Amino acid sequence: MIGVPPHLKRVSDGFVLPLLLLLLLALTALAHSALLVATAEFRMSRIANDLAVAQQAAEGVLVQLPEALAGLPDRIRVGESVLVDVEPVPTAILRAAVSRLSRESWFVQAEAQASEGRRASEAAVFWRMDPIARLARLGGTVTVPDGVSRSGAARVETDSLWTGAECVAMELALDSAFVAGSLRGVESSYVAGSIGLGAITMDDIHRLVPPTLGRSGTPAPLDSLGNCAQAVWNWGGSDPAGTPCGLVHVVRSSTGDVDIVGGEGRGLIIIDGDLTLRDGSSIVGMLLVTGRLRLTNGAYFRGMAFAGEGIRVDPSAHIVGSICVAAASLNAASGALGVFLPLVGATRLGQY
């Protein structure tokens, strides 16, 4: 029984094992800290992803919501807010609120909560045409910018207030908007926007009311089986009467100069160019013209007008100002033009 010499016995006892244990411990610590870094990174990525989902959902509401607000303007007064139902999306819970800042401007805020609970919001100011607010900005029967020609202004008269049948429905609103009294004749005024319709642009108008008018035409009422027919030059009748087209107000637009030769009609006529009424033409409603407005050879217009490059009323022609019919025309156009448009300068307000 010879034992192993002491110096070899220490080797066989093993320094390798403690060394290995130490190394394994160091590796475990390293792996653990790497795991912590990876876990933290994974958590941050999930948070970022969740926030991005919430943000996109909130922004999506601002794009989709305006179409759903069509019925709101009559129900909300200036200064009031309402919560609006929003169609849910699989990735987030949505809420939206609409506040009326003035007759034409609306604050819309959308908030989204993603599935992990992160929230994001986005807000914007929208503009929607209001007939009363528009009329209050146009001070005269014919409004023209400063410095443009105004030949025959003496043949522009004004109606007494609220005499038209069309005024009945809007009498209270008109009373509050026109405390200063009746319309003036031709009024020089700086009207923001090219045609006095506020924040709505000509591109918006042509998108909403396709420019169907050609170079010239003769408007005339056209009945079809007891109804007022749909036709480019059917602008209803110039006087309310017991016919299908009697109280119709149309909306028409053009992308160039237009001559109206004779005929009759009523409505909102938007011309991106010059407009000439001639040969006994009788039009009632509102004319918004970026170029020159000319009435000649017995033409007659009743309502309100904006002429961007001046007005000329020949001795045989005549204009009578009427807030009533202008209001009725704008009111009838609210269906086509009364959409919520993002107001430039406040289209994305961010979240605070």
Chain positions contacting another protein, by CB under 8 A:
2, 4-5, 8, 11-12, 15-16, 19-20, 23-24, 26-27, 30-31, 33-34, 37-38, 40-41, 44-45, 48, 79, 81, 83, 95-97, 99, 101-102, 104-105, 107, 109-111, 121, 123, 125, 127, 133, 192-193, 198-199, 343-350, 352
- Residue 247 CB, shortest distance to another protein, in Å, is 31
Q: Which is nearer to another protein, 121 or 141 (CB)?
A: 121
Q: Which is nearer to another protein, 20 or 165 (CB)?
A: 20
The CA distance from 264 to 203, in Å, is 27
Name the 3-class secondary structure at 105.
strand
Of 125 and 153, which CB lies nearer to another protein in the complex structure? 125
User: Nearer Cβ to another protein, position 215 or 348?
Assistant: 348
Shortest distance, position 287 Cβ to another protein, whole Å: 20
CB of 192 to another protein, least distance (A): 3
- Return the sign of the alpha-carbon dihedral for residues 76, 78, 80, 84: positive
**Whole-number minimum distance, CB 109 to another protein, in Å?**
4
Give the 3-state secondary structure of 263-310: CEEEEEEEECCCEEEECCCEEEEEEEECCCEEECCCCEEEEEEEECCC
Q: How far is the CB of 330 from another protein (least distance, A)?
A: 16
324 Cβ partners below 8 Å, 6+ apart? Answer: 159, 162, 163, 164, 165, 166, 167, 174
Are 161 and 144 within 8 A, CB to CB? no
Nearer to another protein, 105 or 158 (CB): 105
Q: Which of 26/154 has CB closer to another protein?
A: 26
Q: Residue 68 is which amino acid?
A: A
Q: How far is the CB of 209 from another protein (least distance, A)?
A: 19
Residue 135, classified by CB atoms within 10 Å of its CB into exposed (0-12), middle (13-18) or buried (19+), is buried
Determine the straight-line distance between the first and last CA of the chain, rounded to whole angstroms.
88
Task: Report CA dihedral (149, 151, 154, 157) to the nearest 10 degrees.
Answer: -70
